[in-house]
Structure 1
Amino acid sequence: MTTTRVQLSLARFLTREHHRIHLIGVAGSGMSGVAALLLELGHQVSGSDKSISVEVERLRRLGLQFFQQHSAQDAADAELIVYSSAIRPDNPILIRARQSETRTARRAEALAAIMQGKRGIIVCGMHGKTTTSAMTAHVLREGGLHPSHYVGAEIPILGQNAHWDPRGEFFVAEGDESDGTIRCFYPEHILVLNIEPEHLDFYEDLVQIEAVFDQLIGQTSGKVFFCADDAIATRVCKSDRSVSYGFGENADYRAQDVTLEDFASVFSVFRGGEKLGEARLNVPGRHNVQNAVGVVALASELGIPLEKIATALAKFRHARRRFEIKYASDRFLLVDDYAHHPTEIRATLAAARSTGRNRVLTMFQPHRYTRTKALRQEFGAAFDQADRVVITDVYPASEPPIPGISGQTIADAISAHGHRGVTYQSRFTRVHHDVGNMLASGDLVLSLGAGNIHEQLSILAAELVVAEKLKAIVGEEGEMRLHEPMAKHTTLRVGGPAQFWIEPRTEEAFAELIRFCRRENLPLFVIGRGSNLLVRDGGIPGVVVHPCGGAFDDITVKENEITAGVGAKLKQVAYAGRDAGIGGLEWMEGIPGEVGGALRMNAGAMGGQTFEHVVSVRVLDAEGNAQTMTPSEMQVHYRHVPTLEKNYAVSAVFRGVSSGRDEIVRKLEESQHKRKTTQPAASSAGCIFKNPNSVPAGKLV
């Protein structure tokens, strides 16, 4: 089949002439690539979009005139309007173009026309085509063929997502089958990775999908490379001009002796019965080895020696959002991937599992309501290799909602499949809260989806930078947890998460935490046992310190004085007094709090108050410096100690009176009896209220 006269005319317009061209939706990964090619071809290019991307900023430096709106006036002098399938028919620029009979072209039509100026190579299939097309362009470049390329993502190793190289004959492009526009292309060679039911918002069934690939094959003048491990691709592609690849014995090019290492794979390459050599791929996953063999087959058929191919593969690095490492330390690894189809998810989870981390925690954002509905059962079986899964709501990608279809649909399907570690989080902005609180040393966190789920992973990565520093301060003996629910740490059992929950065990660690928060301008909030503490559902931003364990729990007795750390329970102080024959502290038995909280609010009960018995308080000031203060040096009021707003208590010395053990026990029992007979037996918040001067708060309540 030959190209049409219209396509040849557009090819000449774009590759041999210079014109004024406007692109609608230029910030997208696909359209920005077309813009880059047009600029390098010498056109005067403008573009419009509602948002600005990194690619737009780069294109501006190349000469793009950008408008952050879609206004017909901004494209009034354009000789060609290029738009993608995502652009609605009521776009004002498109309406104006049709009214004025200005020439228009869809993105794929423009790209196909540009490719007519070269020997085209299309990499296509439902999964893996971005990485594989980038790998193909990289190998051909390293092989000295100077290819032009177009890939639907940011490609660090290629420098940009699209480039026109006038020196080379070949043009490598990622083919998009999602909207059928792959039929616009007339390449010399194609590399078909896989074919299966997908994009069922556009196609009715697999028959229609196969028909599109049949047409593309018919429009291909050279060789058809296909994965022999894929039954549908084999059925559609196999012919006397096809070249197969894969793991199977019947493949023309195959990988054997595959060894999966941490973020790398080593394998042998065979052509028929001949071993061509060894190759190393520094991206993880067996599926990437499979795709790499396809690249080996294509490059070999173009005359590039395996030695050069292997060298290029060893240098290759992923495209953005393709198993992209967002954070790595000795304790945690965070990886983002674009996988949004069950097949892709299984392959990506297998790659994550091959890295040898303790657990794989996954946050997944379903993409499109139609895909969620059509493939819910397949999604249910796709997460077996994830230890924990947090599902958020569907990224619509301009689709209207479908009643009864949401992220809960996927969560239910995963649970029905037998997975016991899946939760649904309807609030997108809290996904990183849920996953962050699950984290343990040795975990890999994987964000999956074609929408904006990577934003949640990026937030988590930024928090881990701080969290790791906080953990280093408190050491192995201390605790650090992200997004710890405050409901676990208050007697009211309510409250949202503490962004950074820290439990230091030593005064030195506490002091360094204070200094760190001051340097980093982080809010610092210190709590004791959380008695009668009311925390909002939104939680507490910044660092929440709970000094406990170690020296903070110590209680020592000397004569009539008891020294207690702020983590010691008041009841334990009272019992220490009993055992040492120190009376006057029996009232402490009835307060469900710790020394630190009692000092902070001058807690009291049964007629006694904390500071009536305080000899001294050891505090850390706002800069982490330690000092000892007596009550006379402090502001102390009823249920309020202003001095401890900017100073943090670490221990206190209490003084009682010598008393017989029997007398102390009697008073303790009286206190217990009074509490049991006058206070509710169940949990209550009665003590949260301060007593007015005239009448007890309990009576008013």
Structure 2
Amino acid sequence: MPDPTGADLGAPRAVHLVGVGGAGISAIGIILAAMGHRVTGSDVNETAVWPALIAAGVEPEVVPATELFSSARPHGAEIVAHSTAFPPTERDLAEAAEAGCAVLDRAGILALVCAARPTVAVSGTHGKTSTTAMLATLLDGAGADPSYLVGATPLGLGRAAHWSEAGAFAVEADESDGTFLRMGADIAVVTNIDEDHLDFWHDIAAIEAAFLRFLGEARTGVVCIDDPRGEQVTDPRAARVAAAVGATTVGEGPEADFQVHSVEVERLHTRFGLRHQGRELGPVTVGTPGRHHARNAAVSVAVALELGISAPAAVEALAGYVGVTRRFEVVGEAFGATLVDDYAHNPGKVRALLASAKEAGWPRVVAVFQPHRYTRTRDLLADFGAALALADVIAITEVYAAGEDPIAGISGRLLVEEVLEVRPWAEVAWVPTLDDAAGWARATLRPGDLFLTVGAGDVWQLGRRLIDLDAGGSR
């Protein structure tokens, strides 16, 4: 998709990244440097990605907030791209125009990267990170020399961003604010269609229409048509958009082009059969637990075949997938329990996570959930209650604001009541702070339990704290 500013990456450019220390922009910076561009960047603080940026050839610097954009000028920047955390002011835009410099947001610079390679854009309300990571792992293991950009680090690859000499570009495409519609994908992938980010989309009809457009603008599409809520085998929304564009379909129902069957989940692994046009491609094995991971893996196999990878090579390479950071990430053991952290933060993700954990063979699934954003908590209360009730034992913290102002009457404590509405006999606790959660977990955990920390905020710290407590530390 051409950029309205006229910017392009067809020749080496001087690119300056504002907010370069953030996860999304830093990964793009690493890719741009690998493409041969001179990349500088500014941020208000030095972050944990600084060493990786410098190692990749990016030149980051810390500047005052008022100089984030103006710091591009001494570097002779031809393109300035910024994270959503640092939008330009009118003055910033005027100064850039005076210097003949194009100003792009994250989606704009990413679209220019996509234009340089045949792009597989992976989107969906749930599962896009895992599916993109599976696809990158598969293509790498099959010798296809992929480029990729994943929203978390695939544990088997060791990096979230990589640029190759000639391979296809697998990229996680964010639907939360509509930026996935700017990727210009060659192959568009939809893992599922569900309600989330209603502060932007307002209703599910708008979400469905956006996914239809995403698929319709690509050369071809791959869609998982299973119901992400587990209420029926096939999701009518996903089936509608797939049929409208003639996309390849994946799912457990007999109408799927790639049919998943015989799913077996055991602790940290998932094994399943995969049938395509009457031919058995499996068994397929991945190193993460859950029926939803079987679907994600099947989607990645379908894409690989579209890219010319043979089925045996795809299945063999996919067996090397062992997950990504903050997606069913095993962090250790404490008090005899296995500690796992997961980024799940909407009802569909939480439901899939807990359902997977329940079928994986642990005696008890114990979880601490940290709600993420007041608006999401308000809009999806009942759905959260139904999802969280799947745990054997659940504790809920106060809302992690993620920059939002509190909303009167909205608290994590409401989710305790919602869980009890679904399962009145549930073992559910209110633990407002992580200190409260640590004390509760220490008193609750038994040897053999699976203990999950769940949420997109700072709840991940809890597992590490419990490991220290078990070892006799004071944190």
Taking structure 2 as the reference length, what is the TM-score of the superposition?
Answer: 0.91
Q: CA deviation at 1:433?
A: 2.2
Q: Distance in 1 between matches of 2:121 and 2:197?
A: 19
Which residue of 1 is the match for residue 434 of structure 2?
Answer: 428
- Listed as ranges, the gaps of 5+ residues in structure 2 are 227-233
Q: Deviations over 1:622-676 (max 9, x none)?
A: xxxxxxxxxxxxxxxxxxxxxxxxxxxxxxxxxxxxxxxxxxxxxxxxxxxxxxx
Shift of 1:95: 7.7
CA distance in 2, matches of 1:172, 1:405: 38
DSSP-derived class of the 2:357 partner: helix
Q: Deviations over 1:30-64 (max 9, x none)?
A: 11211111111122222233444433321122222
CA RMSD of aligned residues (A): 2.3
Shift of 1:354: 2.8
Amino acid at match of 2:215: I
The structure-2 alpha-carbon separation of the partners of 1:390 and 1:223, relative to structure 1 and needing over 3 Å to count, comes to: closer
Deviations 1:189-237 (A, max 9, x none): 1111101111011111112212221221221023444435332111122
Distance 1:188 1:394 in 2: 39
Is 1:38 the equivalent of 2:43?
no
8 Å CA contact 1:182, 1:212 repeated in 2: no
Who wins on radius of gyration, i.e. which is larger?
1
Residue 335 of structure 1 aligns to a residue in which SS? strand
Is it true that 1:388 corresponds to 2:393 in the alignment? yes
Instruction: Judge conservation of contact 1:123–1:129 (CA < 8 Å) in 2.
Output: yes
- 1:62 maps to which of 50, 56, 60: 56
The answer to whether the 8 A contact 1:331-1:442 is kept is yes
* CA distance in 2: counterparts of 1:424 and 1:98, whole angstroms: 53
Aligned partner of 1:24 among 15, 18, 26: 18
Residue 342 of structure 2 contacts residue 452 of structure 2 at CA under 8 Å; is this kept in 1?
Answer: yes
The separation in 2 between residues aligned to 1:112 and 1:248, in whole angstroms, is: 35
Closer, same or farther: CA 136–344 of 1 in aligned 2, 3 Å: same
The 3-state SS of whatever aligns with 1:379 is helix
In the other structure, the counterpart of 1:462 is: 468
Give the SS at the match of 1:157: coil
Q: Alpha carbons of 1:186 and 1:165: their partners in 2 closer, same or farther (altered >3 Å)?
A: same
Distance 1:414 1:89 in 2: 43
AA of the residue aligned to 1:318: G
Task: Report the CA distance shift for 1:88/1:425 in structure 2 as closer, same or farther (over 3 A).
Answer: farther
Identify unmatched segments of 5+ residues in structure 1. Answer: 468-521, 523-540, 543-701
1:457 deviates by 2.0
- The answer as to whether partners of 1:146 and 1:167 remain within 8 angstroms in 2 is yes
Q: C-alpha distance in 2, partners of 1:101/1:371? A: 41
Which of 372, 376, 401 lines up with 1:371 in the alignment?
376
Helix, strand or coil for the counterpart of 1:457?
helix
Instruction: Tell me the amino acid that sits aligned with residue 171 of structure 1.
Output: F
Q: Distance in 2 between matches of 1:93 and 1:308?
A: 50
Aligned residue for 1:176? 174
Amino acid at match of 1:119: P
Q: Hey, what's the Cα distance between the residues in 2 that align with 1:158 and 1:95? A: 42
Corresponding residue number in structure 1 for 2:237: 232
> 8 Å contact 1:332–1:441 — kept in the other structure?
yes
CA distance in 2, matches of 1:288, 1:57: 32
CA contact (8 A) 1:328 1:334 kept: yes
The structure-2 alpha-carbon separation of the partners of 1:52 and 1:435, relative to structure 1 and needing over 3 Å to count, comes to: farther
Structure 1 residue 96: Cα displacement: 5.2
* Contact 1:30/1:153 (<8 A) preserved: no
Aligned ranges 1:196-595 → 2 under 5 Å: 196-228=194-226, 229-239=234-244, 241-328=246-333, 331-419=336-424, 420-464=426-470, 466-467=471-472, 541=474
Summarize deviations over 1:397-451 as a string: whole Å, max 9, x none: 2222211112112222222222532222223343222222212211111011111
User: For residues 96 and 454 of structure 1, what CA distance do their matches in structure 2 show?
Assistant: 41
Secondary structure of 2:443 counterpart: helix
List per-residue Cα deviations over 1:263-283 (Å, max 9, x = no partner). Answer: 112211101322223111121
Mapped to 1, the partners of 2:345 and 2:245 lie a distance apart of: 34
Residues 286 and 371 of structure 1: is their aligned pair in 2 closer, same or farther, counting only changes over 3 Å?
Answer: same
How far, CA to CA, are the matches of 1:92 and 1:161 in structure 2? 34
- Number of the residue aligned with 1:163: 162
Specify the code of the residue in structure 2 equivalent to 1:123. V
Q: 1:421 & 1:449 partners in 2: Cα distance?
A: 19
User: Which shifted more, 73-82 or 191-200?
Assistant: 73-82
Which residue number corresponds to residue 73 of structure 2?
A: 76
Relative distance call for 1:395 and 1:5 in structure 2 (3 A) is closer
| Alignment partner of 1:49 out of 40, 43, 56 | 43
8 A contact 1:85–1:179 mirrored in 2: no
Q: Aligned to 1:453, what secondary structure does the other structure show?
A: coil
SS at match of 2:15: strand
Deviation string 1:493-549 (CA, Å, 9 cap, x unpaired) is xxxxxxxxxxxxxxxxxxxxxxxxxxxxx7xxxxxxxxxxxxxxxxxx59xxxxxxx
Letter of the aligned partner of 1:248 in structure 2?
G
Q: Which amino acid aligns with 1:257?
A: S
Q: Distance in 2 between matches of 1:435 and 1:329?
A: 10
Which residue identity is paired with 1:159? G
Q: Is the 8 A contact 2:267 2:362 kept in 1?
A: no
Decide whether the 8 Å contact of 2:242 with 2:249 is kept in 1: no
Cα distance change, pair 161–94 in 1 and its aligned pair in 2 (3 A): farther
Q: Which amino acid in 2 is paired with 1:152?
A: G
State the SS of the aligned residue for 1:202. helix
Larger relative contact order (Cα-Cα within 8 Å, sequence gap ≥ 6): 2
For the 8 Å contact 2:141–2:320, the answer to whether it is kept is no
Return the offset for 1:88.
4.3
Cα 1:325–1:50 change in 2 (3 A) is farther
Q: Distance in 2 between matches of 1:93 and 1:424?
A: 46
Q: Matched residue of 1:269: which SS?
A: strand
Secondary structure of the 2:403 match is coil
Give the partner amino acid of 2:38: Q
Match of 2:85 in 1: 86
Q: 1:31 to 1:94 in 2, by over 3 A?
A: farther
Quick one: distance in 2 between partners of 1:185 and 1:227? 22
**Compared with structure 1, are the counterparts of its residues 295 and 364 closer, same or farther at alpha carbon in structure 2 (3 Å cutoff)?**
same
Partner of 1:507: none
How many pairs were matched up?
Answer: 462
Name the CA shift for 1:52/1:157 in 2 (closer, same or farther; >3 Å).
farther
Q: Which amino acid aligns with 1:423?
A: A
- Structure-1-length-normalised TM-score: 0.63
Supply the AA of the counterpart residue of 2:73.
A
> In structure 2, what is the Cα distance between the partners aligned to 1:208 and 1:84?
25
Matched position secondary structure for 1:201: helix
